[in-house]
């Protein structure tokens, strides 16, 4: 949840749902400005998942995988 809040904050998004505004504000208020150096590697996990399961990408891109 924290990573998603940071991503949204850097893109200028706030919480869109009323029940998430309080927790989003609390997470951002307690942020000290430092991010773990390995946070940037999270994207590679998604790439590895894609490489291990290319059918999932085809299903999303091509009408649910239907011809």
Q: What is the mean pLDDT of the chain?
A: 76
- Count up the domains in the chain and report the number: 2
Q: Are residues 41 and 58 in the same domain?
A: yes
| Alpha helix positions (H), the chain | 2-10, 18-29, 42-52, 54-61
The pair of structure tokens assigned to 62 is 């091509």
Q: Which domain holds residue 8?
A: 1-35
Alpha-carbon gap, residue 31 to 2, rounded angstroms: 10
Q: Is the pLDDT of residue 33 over 80?
A: no
pTM: 0.44
Locate 56 and state its tokens: 């999932």
End-to-end CA distance of the chain, in Å? 36
**Is residue 4 over pLDDT 80?**
no
Q: Who's near 32: CB < 8 A, 6+ residues apart?
A: none
**pLDDT at site 11:** 62
| Whether 41 and 27 share a structural domain | no
């Amino acid at each position: 949840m924290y990573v998603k809040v940071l991503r949204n904050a850097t893109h200028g998004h706030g919480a869109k749902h009323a029940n998430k505004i309080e927790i989003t504000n609390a997470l951002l208020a307690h942020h000290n400005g430092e991010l773990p150096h390995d946070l940037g590697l999270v994207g590679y996990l998604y790439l590895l998942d894609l490489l291990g399961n290319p059918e999932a990408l085809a299903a999303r891109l091509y009408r649910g995988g239907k011809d």
